[in-house]
């Protein structure tokens, strides 16, 4: 469970709302669901900087302009506040969260028709529209436990539209109730012995890079690197303060460590062992590099004992494939099917390891919040199906990491390959031009602190150091570089530079001019061109002529992934259009396609495009299909919304678009 530190320590203001939203939607229910499955034990990794923010929200001390705009009576919103609401209050998964509430979907459609322009949309929205948006944009993030069981929340959802000031006040009160329950539910389940809490360095830094940023050149030789950042003392501080914080909050010191992003090196593990941690975890991609061989089940499904120079720590390495199936694939499947497929895969892998008898340790480790908004009802049906099957299974036990390590006999490790869970290197956080500039700015601020800190009052010195620790967090460079996209990249960039500027201000110095300019460079985004002429394509798997698809709509996929790091997309462009009788589709591939089936999904039914005698298809350099309108639901005069799913075996491996729908204006257009 992790969120960046969104608070500006100087202004006291929260610059983005995601800690609050995920506290409403994920952190409470992910633990509370275990009440129905007492045999299921789990480890929850809590990042201290996230818990600090949750407690500020729970106490009512958090200054959050996003919440302020949700609370303010709609008729009192200024023009600037109206534009703020429109810009930010639709930032949710369209298919699973927005369209789940019909009125929220209507408002979202109106927003899209305005060209997603706050200035244009503001003229279309009246006070009632704004109030409905204020209420529903918050309720959409409420945990399933409250949506299903809390009478007041259920009545709020059932009302659907035309919310009143009293409804708005109820939404705010229930929100604060949920936030106040988050940390106590973890304490409760720790006391029961059903969960273990592990932690991460306080502000979620990439420990190996703090110790020595040049370590990135070991996992990726010739990677362009910034000036050397060499502050192992900062890494030690982030570990020590994290352990002390969790002990204060939950009554016992954590023995387990998830190093930020599974990032490890020999120096980082030595510091973790010195700090008192007894186990740490990473990815089996790192294990493969360490062992110089493929890390199959035989290598992954067991624990290790890392030791160097009289320091040692137990290690587990997550099953990368299965963890990512939960994170990225099972959301596209039915809950029962996904849970069964997951356990079948575990059993098949475990049989290979346990042929000689004995227990098998299967480490599944994944993001605690971002996956669930892609699931039906926030993933609760899937988790319930999974936990029910585990509870009834005679051959499976769901254990905390510490419980499992007491059973498993470790293999020795005399070193660890330096890397993270992403490609067993640090390329997401260092090496790209934006990343390296961010590291240069951090280094200069860190050096200036060393020069000037002794001459400032203690409280200012403490805050300046805290701002440096925040700026060392991994999240800023997650969004720099070419890998990831967010609608909030600009805000992340501004907040990172503000944290560094605050270091100088607290030291009594003027921030350097470079911190007033964006680090971000121009970026590519998803783009969609609407169809504007009828087409009649030849279905032969080739671009037969330049004019064949002229006038078709075009959807180009974003090359960055989102807040979670997944595999690159296979499809670069989707072209779509129609004549009087047929829908035409064309897929241009970015990477070699790997699928066994393709479906056209309308929300009402899924139409298989391969092996369907009514559908004409061809695949060579491109994939082309002609689908008669008679196969689609509705009438020919109505618009049709659709997605394309690429399927491998029984699991969808790519959905186009990844969220939301492509709309063909009408069947004959």
Per-residue pLDDT at 526 exceeds 60: no
- Residues 348-353: what's their mean pLDDT? 91
pLDDT band at 505 (very low <50, low <70, confident <90, very high): very high
pLDDT band at 555 (very low <50, low <70, confident <90, very high): confident
Rounded CA-CA distance 314/548 in Å is 61
- Residues 422-432: what's their mean pLDDT? 94
Query: What is the pLDDT, as a whole number, of residue 484?
Result: 76
Rounded CA-CA distance 269/245 in Å is 20
Helix (H, G, I), strand (E, B) or coil at 383: helix
Task: Give the contacts of 198 (CB within 8 A, at least 6 positions apart).
Answer: 43, 44, 45, 46, 254, 255, 256, 257, 258, 279, 281, 401
Per-residue pLDDT at 544 exceeds 80: no
DSSP-assigned beta bridge partners for residue 588: 573
Rounded CA-CA distance 111/116 in Å is 5
Query: What is the pLDDT, as a whole number, of residue 668?
Result: 47
Query: What is the pLDDT, as a whole number, of residue 547?
Result: 66
Length of the chain: 669
Fold annotation for 204-218+232-424: 7-stranded beta/alpha barrel (3.20.110)
Q: Give residue limits of the domains in the chain.
A: 18-192, 204-218+232-424, 433-516, 527-664
Alpha helices for 89-164 (secondary structure H):
102-113, 118-122, 127-139, 144-149, 151-159
- Tokens representing residue 390 in the block: 């585990």
pLDDT band at 575 (very low <50, low <70, confident <90, very high): very high
List, for residues 168-196, the tens digit of each pLDDT value: 999 999 999 999 999 999 999 999 999 99
- Residues 653-666: what's their mean pLDDT? 76
What are the distances in angstroms from CA 140 to CA 70, 81, 371, 484, 537? 13, 21, 16, 25, 42
Per-residue pLDDT at 523 exceeds 90: no
Task: Give the contacts of 149 (CB within 8 A, at least 6 positions apart).
Answer: none
List, for residues 92-130, the tens digit of each pLDDT value: 999 999 999 999 999 999 999 888 889 999 999 999 999
Query: Does CATH number 2.60.40 belong to domain 527-664?
Result: yes
Per-residue pLDDT at 357 exceeds 90: no
> What's CA 137's distance to the chain center, in Å?
19
Task: Give the contacts of 19 (CB within 8 A, at least 6 positions apart).
Answer: 3, 6, 50, 53, 54, 57
List, for residues 17-44, the tens digit of each pLDDT value: 999 999 999 999 999 999 999 999 999 9
- Return the C-alpha torsion angle 249, 250, 255, 260, nearest 10: -50
Query: What is the pLDDT, as a whole number, of residue 247?
Result: 98
Rounded CA-CA distance 198/662 in Å is 42
Widest CA span of the chain, in angstroms? 80
Fold annotation for 433-516: immunoglobulin/albumin-binding domain-like (1.20.1430)
Total-model pTM:
0.81
- Residues 261-268: what's their mean pLDDT? 98
List, for residues 577-593, the tens digit of each pLDDT value: 998 889 999 998 877 78
Q: Give the β-pairing of 42-46 and 582-589.
A: unpaired
Query: What is the pLDDT, as a whole number, of residue 651?
Result: 67
Query: Which of 222-226, 382-386, 514-518, 658-662 has the highest mean predicted lDDT (pLDDT)?
Result: 382-386
- Tokens representing residue 379 in the block: 């993933």
- Residues 647-666: what's their mean pLDDT? 76
- Residues 482-511: what's their mean pLDDT? 91
Is the alpha carbon torsion for 248, 253, 259, 262 positive or negative? negative
Query: What is the pLDDT, as a whole number, of residue 566?
Result: 57
Q: Is-contact 563 486, C-beta < 8 A?
A: yes
Q: Is-contact 566 423, C-beta < 8 A?
A: no
- Tokens representing residue 70 in the block: 């949700």
Q: Is-contact 608 654, C-beta < 8 A?
A: no
pLDDT band at 246 (very low <50, low <70, confident <90, very high): very high
Per-residue pLDDT at 365 exceeds 50: yes
Mean pLDDT, the chain, whole residue set: 92
Helices 458-471, 433-452: crossing angle, 10 deg rounding? 160
Per-residue pLDDT at 559 exceeds 60: no
């Amino acid at each position: 469970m992790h969120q960046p530190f969104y608070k500006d320590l100087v202004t006291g203001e929260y610059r983005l709302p995601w800690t609050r939203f995920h506290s409403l939607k994920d952190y409470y229910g992910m633990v509370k669901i275990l009440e129905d499955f007492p045999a299921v034990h789990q480890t929850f990794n809590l990042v201290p900087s996230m818990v600090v923010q949750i407690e500020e929200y729970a106490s009512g001390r958090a200054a959050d302009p996003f919440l302020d705009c949700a609370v303010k009576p709609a008729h009192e919103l200024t023009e600037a506040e109206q534009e703020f609401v429109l810009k930010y209050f639709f930032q949710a998964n369209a298919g699973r969260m927005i369209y789940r509430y019909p009125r929220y979907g209507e408002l979202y459609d109106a927003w899209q028709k305005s060209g997603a322009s706050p200035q244009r949309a503001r003229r279309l929205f009246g006070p009632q529209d704004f109030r409905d948006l204020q209420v529903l944009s918050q309720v959409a993030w409420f945990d399933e436990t409250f949506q299903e069981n809390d009478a007041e929340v259920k009545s709020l959802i059932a009302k659907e539209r035309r919310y009143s000031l009293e409804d708005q006040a109820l939404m705010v009160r229930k929100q604060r109730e949920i936030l106040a329950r988050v940390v106590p539910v973890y304490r409760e389940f720790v006391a029961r012995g059903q969960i273990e809490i592990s932690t991460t360095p306080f502000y979620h830094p990439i420990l190996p890079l703090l110790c020595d940023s040049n370590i990135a050149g070991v996992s990726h030789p010739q990677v362009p690197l910034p000036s050397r950042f060499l502050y192992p003392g900062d890494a030690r501080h982030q570990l020590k303060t994290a352990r002390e914080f969790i002990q204060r909050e939950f009554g016992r010191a954590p023995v387990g460590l998830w190093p930020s992003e599974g990032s490890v090196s020999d120096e980082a593990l030595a510091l973790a062992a010195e700090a008192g941690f007894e186990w740490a975890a990473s990815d089996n991609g790192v294990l493969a590099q360490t062992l110089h061989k493929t890390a199959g089940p035989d290598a992954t499904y067991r624990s290790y004992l890392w030791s160097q120079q009289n320091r040692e720590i137990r290690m587990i390495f997550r099953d990368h494939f299965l963890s990512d199936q939960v994170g990225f694939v099972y959301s596209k499947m039915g809950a029962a099917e996904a849970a069964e497929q997951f356990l079948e895969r575990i059993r098949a892998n475990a049989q290979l390891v346990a042929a000689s008898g004995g227990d098998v340790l299967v480490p599944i480790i994944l993001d605690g919040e971002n996956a669930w908004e892609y699931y039906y009802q926030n993933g609760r049906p899937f988790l319930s199906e999974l936990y029910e099957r585990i509870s009834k299974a005679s051959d499976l036990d769901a254990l905390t990491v510490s419980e499992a390590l007491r059973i498993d006999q470790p293999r020795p490790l005399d070193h660890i390959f330096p890397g993270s869970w992403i490609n067993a290197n640090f390329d997401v956080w260092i090496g790209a031009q934006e990343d390296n500039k961010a590291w240069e700015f951090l280094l200069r601020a860190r050096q200036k602190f060393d020069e000037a800190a002794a001459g400032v009052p203690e409280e200012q010195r403490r805050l300046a150091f805290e701002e440096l620790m925040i700026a060392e967090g991994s999240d800023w460079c997650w969004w720099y570089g070419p890998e990831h996209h967010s609608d909030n990249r600009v805000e992340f960039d501004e907040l990172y530079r503000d944290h560094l500027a605050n270091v100088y201000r607290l030291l009594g110095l003027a921030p350097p001019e470079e911190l007033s300019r964006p680090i971000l460079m121009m970026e590519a985004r998803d783009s969609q061109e609407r169809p504007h002429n009828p087409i009649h394509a030849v279905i032969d798997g080739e671009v037969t002529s330049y004019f064949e698809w002229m006038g078709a709509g075009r959807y180009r996929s974003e090359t960055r992934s989102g807040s979670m790091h997944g595999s690159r997309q296979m499809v670069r462009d989707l072209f779509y259009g129609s004549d009087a009788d047929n829908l035409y589709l064309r897929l241009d591939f970015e990477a070699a396609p790997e699928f066994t089936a393709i479906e056209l999904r309308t929300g009402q039914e899924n139409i298989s495009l391969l092996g369907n005698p009514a559908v004409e298809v061809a695949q060579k350099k491109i994939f082309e299909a002609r689908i008669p309108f008679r196969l689609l639901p509705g009438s020919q005069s109505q618009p049709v919304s659709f997605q394309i799913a690429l399927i491998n075996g029984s699991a969808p491996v790519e959905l186009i678009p990844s969220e939301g729908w492509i709309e063909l204006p009408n069947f004959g257009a």
